Amino acid sequence: MNHHATVGNLDKRGEGDVWTMTVEEFLKSSKWKRFQYRVYRHPITMFGVGSLYVFLGENRVTNKEMSRKEKLNVQLTNLGLVVLFIFMSWGIGFFEFLIIQIAILYMAAIAGFWLFYLQHQFEDVSWVRNSDWNYREIAIEGSSFVKFPKLLQWFSGNIGYHHIHHINARIPNYKLEKCYNENPIFKEVEPVTFLKSLKTLKLRLWDEKRQRLIGFKELIPEKVTV
């Protein structure tokens, strides 16, 4: 599934998205499914466990929806990692390499997953049904502009300009800031700062009536039994 063609679309939530239920879906779900969803959306699950699962598990296997080229890329990447693992283990020792690698990988996985999460899970995000979905509008309103200090902006390859990336995925990362500076429409997007990013952790459900993400505490108590 092409994530660029489904972002912000409630009817086509799938690969590349963090599992997000609407309020109506949550209220109609069984107690067991609500429990599963609450566990899934907990920060410890998403970032503490989910980040490693995505990079060590999900991204290391192929599936039937992938093209032949995509499958080959995954397989070659895995082969390269195995060769590197063997070479480095031979050089400094298996356990020494494992300890260093796991520590680095864990921190990088959390940071990477955090960035992916913020791209479409923020306070002013827009999600609409298929009938109201417009590529250009949702590219801007359904994707974030995460404002980094210059050093982190460089290290992250300008990934913070995600709303521009969704307008045109072929724009090189080193040109994204130039696009932002030269096109006023991109500056209309409210930046997600570090403080605002922390507030997104309490957002759990999409409320179609209020057209915004809400936390579990904002649900109508008498309608929820868990």
Could you report the per-residue pLDDT of 103-144, keeping only the tens digit for each?
998 999 998 899 889 888 988 888 888 888 888 888 888 889
Q: What is the pTM of this model?
A: 0.79
pLDDT in the model for residue 32: 96
As a whole number, mean pLDDT of residues 184-188 equals: 89
pLDDT score of 4 more than 70: no
Half-sphere exposure in the Cβ direction for 10 (13 Å, CA):
19
Question: Average pLDDT over the chain, rounded to whole?
Answer: 87
Per-domain boundaries in the chain:
16-123+200-217, 126-191
CA distance linking residue 20 with residue 195, whole number of Å: 22
Within the chain, residue ranges assigned H as helices are: 23-28, 31-41, 43, 50-52, 68-92, 94-120, 135-141, 150-155, 162-167, 176-182, 194-199
CA distance linking residue 223 with residue 67, whole number of Å: 44
How are beta strands 21-22 and 212-214 bridged, if at all?
A: unpaired
Could you report the per-residue pLDDT of 53-95, keeping only the tens digit for each?
888 888 899 988 889 999 999 999 999 999 999 999 998 999 9
